[in-house]
Structure 1
Amino acid sequence: MDLKHTFELYEDVKNDMKFFISSDVRIKILMSLKEGPKNLADLRNEIHLSSSTILHGMNQLQGKDIILRDSGKYSLSQMGKMAANKIINLMETVNTLKNCKDLFLNHEVDCIPKDLIKDIGCLNNSTLVSSTVTDVMKPHRVLSQFLMDTTNIKYLSPVFYPKNAEMFVKTMEKDGKVDLVVTSGVLDKLKEILGTEEVQKSISSGNWGVRIADDDLKLSLTMGDEFIAMGLFSTDGSYDLNVFLISHDEEAISWGERLFKHYKYKSEELKI
């Protein structure tokens, strides 16, 4: 959609957007009814507002065909369900950007596909692990601990960290699986640290899957059975070692799986 059409769309929907987000009462009614049909007493106990205030908000929502009333109970219409889901998505997106500001600000984000940018709210329950003056390697130390406790690793990165090679070997010793999408430079470093023969043996045994990504890859993603860790490049072109996004949330892990698959699809299988 070009800029002209974007402006025209805004003019068409701006009042409807204001209707949904400008009233605490209407938002709370939507969020409450998203859990299922409720009567006025239920809503009053959950929202902690007077009956008259709630009824006024519900009358406004009924006027937009967002809620329905049947036998003294209120519920969301099909349109209301869709509206509630999108409002929650917007709230999660804003919260993600607020909580992860130090990762996304002044870092490359064009490396994240547009469909995943739209779903960035999936990272809502994430935290940032940052270096400190007394623990400059804290992000990598925390990540290494997570890797020790997992039996399956997905690793997408143009960046080599020697400790990771050790973690990959330990995972293989636990009969785990290591799925790598790395640049040729990272593969060369793995061969240098572990030995070309050991790397080839790991691939032949099926314990390692290795694919080669383009050299212009601008993010690092590490995933285990129950976590996701992501690092980004600064806008000056250097990889930022000082901050990782980490999450154990199911939605975040699912988001990470989609990101990994995106780059895995674009990469080339290493054949030995």
Structure 2
Amino acid sequence: MERMICAGRDSLIVRPMTGVPPLEIYDAYHDEIQAIFRSRLLTQVLIALGSGSRSLPALRDATGSSSQALIPKIRQLEALQYVEQVRGDYVLTPIGRLVEPEIERLVTLMGVLGRHREFWVEHELDSIPPESLGELRHLYNAMVIRDVEEDIYAVHAMFAEIIRKASWVHGVSSIMSPVQANLIEQVIIENKPVELVVSPEIAGKLAKEPYRATLESLKEYSRAVIYVSPAPFRLGMAVTESCLSLGLYRRDTGTYDTASDLVSSDPAAVAWGERVFRHYRAIASPLSIPPDK
């Protein structure tokens, strides 16, 4: 079976290249696949060794299990040639180092979906670039902010706080309101760098009032640039040096969900948001407002 391997822990891709259906591959190797995922300890040992060699006592601490329970599982992993012993410690073999990152990615993805299942199930995900969808694990520490009866402006208040505290703002948006525009305007007036990628529909709205006059008044601020995506998209996202705010469209109504945002100050989530921004920025062009007729 031919395989494609891209070096690097975070970019490792091991994918069948022969066109063999995954279900057929599963049928052929289901015993080995099930051996790993059926056993909590097998999975835990592999993930623990993903960060480096460990002694048996260290594996006991990492898994919360006794030597009596661990040793048979380690022997099973040795028989599968995923784990070996080097100078008394246990380490991943070369093929173990191929398998472990894929297991870790799946585990963390399931964690992200499990923590905020309602958010991911309720919303459209199509406008998140495929490569970023494959990295949702970086959003594990995010929290969902929702408008509730006791605080009907929770989402707006959080977004406003993020924008006001920012030293710079990168945004991707297919929505715009005078309130949002005012928040961004204040950041621009403070001469902080602002880059915003908007959808073609929003670009058309910005050429009209009440936004046109605001854009005209901000021309002198060279650190603010608005770009237009060549194709429609459906999301609203802001990234700053310390925070990510992500809003999506509801699947049931097809409208932007103003009542819930995914927010994170985790550096991994901020870096994830920056990659989404760079994806859209790379294909966008500077906004050009036609002269008044």
TM-score, reference length from structure 2? 0.83
1:107-166 per-residue CA deviation (whole Å, 9 max, x = no partner) reads 211122222222221211111001101322211111101111001111111111323222
2:101 pairs with 1:85: yes
Give the counterpart of 1:153 among 166, 169, 172: 169
- Name which of structure 1's ranges 92-101 and 147-156 shifts more when overlaid on structure 2: 92-101
2:269 pairs with 1:246: no
- Name which of structure 1's ranges 239-248 and 18-27 shifts more when overlaid on structure 2: 18-27
Q: Which amino acid aligns with 1:49?
A: S
2:195 pairs with 1:179: yes
Q: Residues 250 and 256 of structure 2 are in contact (CA less than 8 Å); yes or no, is this contact kept in structure 1? A: yes
1:221-240 to structure 2, matched below 5 A, reads 221-235=237-251, 236-240=253-257
Q: Which amino acid aligns with 2:227?
A: R
Q: Which amino acid aligns with 1:245?
A: L
SS of 2:72's partner is: helix
Q: Residues 203 and 210 of structure 1 are in contact (CA less than 8 Å); yes or no, is this contact kept in structure 2? A: no
Q: Residues 189 and 221 of structure 2 are in contact (CA less than 8 Å); yes or no, is this contact kept in structure 1? A: no
- Compute the RMSD of aligned alpha carbons: 2.5
* Equivalent pairs, count: 271
CA shift, 1:215, in A, is 6.7
In structure 1, how many angstroms separate the alpha carbons of the residues matched to 2:20 and 2:83? 33
TM-score, reference length from structure 1? 0.89
CA shift, 1:245, in A, is 0.6
In structure 2, how many angstroms separate the alpha carbons of the residues matched to 1:186 and 1:84? 44
Residue number in structure 2 paired with 1:268: 285
Q: Residues 200 and 232 of structure 2 are in contact (CA less than 8 Å); yes or no, is this contact kept in structure 1? A: no
Q: Residues 244 and 264 of structure 2 are in contact (CA less than 8 Å); yes or no, is this contact kept in structure 1? A: yes
Residue number in structure 2 paired with 1:32: 48
CA shift, 1:266, in A, is 2.9
Residue number in structure 1 paired with 2:76: 60
Higher helix share: 1
In structure 1, how many angstroms separate the alpha carbons of the residues matched to 2:97 and 2:18? 29
1:34-84 per-residue CA deviation (whole Å, 9 max, x = no partner) reads 232222233234333222321111111111111111222111123223322
In structure 2, how many angstroms separate the alpha carbons of the residues matched to 1:115 and 1:67? 30
CA shift, 1:208, in A, is 1.1
1:1-272 to structure 2, matched below 5 A, reads 5-187=21-203, 188-189=205-206, 192-193=209-210, 195-196=212-213, 198-200=214-216, 202-203=218-219, 205-213=221-229, 216-235=232-251, 236-271=253-288
Decide whether aligned partners of structure 1 residues 4 and 204 sit closer, same or farther in structure 2, where only a CA change above 3 A counts: farther
Decide whether aligned partners of structure 1 residues 251 and 15 sit closer, same or farther in structure 2, where only a CA change above 3 A counts: farther
Decide whether aligned partners of structure 1 residues 110 and 225 sit closer, same or farther in structure 2, where only a CA change above 3 A counts: same
Q: Which amino acid aligns with 2:115?
A: N
1:179-231 per-residue CA deviation (whole Å, 9 max, x = no partner) reads 011135534348634653x5246355422111113573211111111111111
Q: Which amino acid aligns with 1:237?
A: G
Decide whether aligned partners of structure 1 residues 4 and 60 sit closer, same or farther in structure 2, where only a CA change above 3 A counts: closer
Q: Residues 176 and 202 of structure 2 are in contact (CA less than 8 Å); yes or no, is this contact kept in structure 1? A: yes
In structure 1, how many angstroms separate the alpha carbons of the residues matched to 2:182 and 2:92? 53
In structure 2, how many angstroms separate the alpha carbons of the residues matched to 1:90 and 1:144? 34
User: Taking every aligned residue pair, what percent have the same amino acid on both sides?
Assistant: 21
SS of 2:122's partner is: coil
Q: Which amino acid aligns with 1:57?
A: K
Q: Residues 203 and 209 of structure 1 are in contact (CA less than 8 Å); yes or no, is this contact kept in structure 2? A: no
Segments of structure 1 that go 5 or more residues without pairing to the other structure are none
SS of 1:192's partner is: coil
In structure 2, how many angstroms separate the alpha carbons of the residues matched to 1:174 and 1:22? 56
Q: Residues 158 and 215 of structure 1 are in contact (CA less than 8 Å); yes or no, is this contact kept in structure 2? A: no
Q: Which amino acid aligns with 1:61?
A: L
